[in-house]
Every structure is written in C-alpha cells, then in structure tokens.
C-alpha cells in the first residue's frame, strides 16, 4: 500500500500488485523544507504511538 501526502492533501491509496523488489521492509519517506529534524521525529513518534494505542485493546474497557 502506498500513501502520498503533499502539504495538506492526502491522495487516495495505491495498492501494489506485488513488492517492487526483494526488500519488503516498510518505510516512511519525508521530503521537507524548513522543518527541524526534531519536529519530524516527534511527529512520527506521536503518529506511531497513536497507532499502537488504537491497535491495543483498552484494559479499562474490559469488564
């Protein structure tokens, strides 16, 4: 699955029929200008933390 976002626009996802090569690792690519590296690192950490918390069941929600 490929996601492209440019500025405030997130384009529709593209599903690939196959991996383009033998390297099957997931990756994020950021092309930025005038952003501090620390800001981008925090943004990614916040994003992945939110995704983890969404994927893990909430222990308090279980009776």
- Helix residue ranges per DSSP H, the chain: 37-55
For residue 63, what pLDDT is reported? 46
**In the predicted model, is pLDDT for residue 11 greater than 90?**
yes
For residue 50, what pLDDT is reported? 73
Structure tokens at 11: 């384009």
For residue 13, what pLDDT is reported? 92
Question: What's the helix, strand, coil split of the chain in %, to 5?
Answer: 35, 10, 55
Who has greater pLDDT, 6 or 59?
A: 6
Structure tokens at 22: 């033998």
Average pLDDT, the chain: 81
């Amino acid at each position: 699955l490929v996601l492209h976002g440019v500025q405030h626009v997130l384009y529709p996802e593209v599903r690939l029929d196959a991996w383009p090569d033998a390297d099957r690792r997931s990756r994020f690519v950021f092309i930025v200008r005038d952003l501090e590296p620390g800001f981008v690192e925090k943004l990614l950490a916040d994003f992945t933390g939110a995704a983890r918390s969404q994927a893990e069941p909430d222990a308090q929600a279980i009776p």
